[in-house]
Chain A
């Protein structure tokens, strides 16, 4: 049981390039999330999904896109990378419980845009 896995661990992008951050979970969780964390700050929600085929915007969605074609995978797409997207990106998942839930986080992807 690997939990939540993310690839790549590190990436350097040039301004204007695009990339996809991969996230996979093997816990059969319906809910998945993408957060970003800037240096010295807390996490901010980018997008989330409540199940395959259903996604919605979080607090800071601009410049990103997501898709959820399977329960296991929730990739995050960066189009036209900008320096402001330099951050650490965390993917998380949680079970579909009503009240007793916790979010399980992946190890993160460190992205630098120069």
Chain B
């Protein structure tokens, strides 16, 4: 699986959009970008995933650049409960179902 690079930490004001970047410059054509988050002491929670097109669900939006070498997770209106570590993971899906979690980005939402 391709390696990902994320900032160690980020801050965001409550009510504002949080934009979390991820670089995956060695991503191959069949690899998906997945985002999970882990609120303190809890198990990771799936957020969203995509292959080429931008994706949106009730939690977040995922913007993938045209060359697929980077992506941005957008939380449109961050709340204090969104404070968590966010993991960007690249995986080819199919039979390669093993996720590799790095250290992620600690997002702190401030009041």
Contacts and interface: CB of A to CB of B under 8 A. Distances in A.
B46 A107 contact: no
A43 B42 contact: no
Interface residues on A, range: 20 to 34
18 contacts: A31-B97, A41-B103, A42-B87, A44-B101, A45-B98, A45-B99, A98-B93, A100-B93, A101-B93, A102-B46, A103-B44, A103-B46, A103-B99, A105-B43, A105-B45, A107-B43, A108-B41, A108-B43
A61 interface: no
Contact-size category for B? 20 to 34
Main SS of chain B's interface residues?
loop
A102 B93 CA distance: 10
A84 to B, nearest CB: 19
Nearest to A91: B43
Contacts of B46: 102-104
Interface string A17-48: 00000000000000101010000111111001
Nearest to B103: A42
Given A92-B44, A105-B43, 4 more contacts: A58-B98, A98-B94, A100-B93, A105-B45
Interface of B: 32, 34, 36, 41-46, 49, 87, 93-94, 97-104
Contact of A99 (B87, B93, B103): B93
A98 to B, nearest CB: 6
Given A58-B98, A99-B32, A105 B93 contact: no
B17 to A, nearest CB: 23
A35 to B, nearest CB: 8
A92 B98 CA distance: 11
A75 interface: no
Contacts of A41: 103
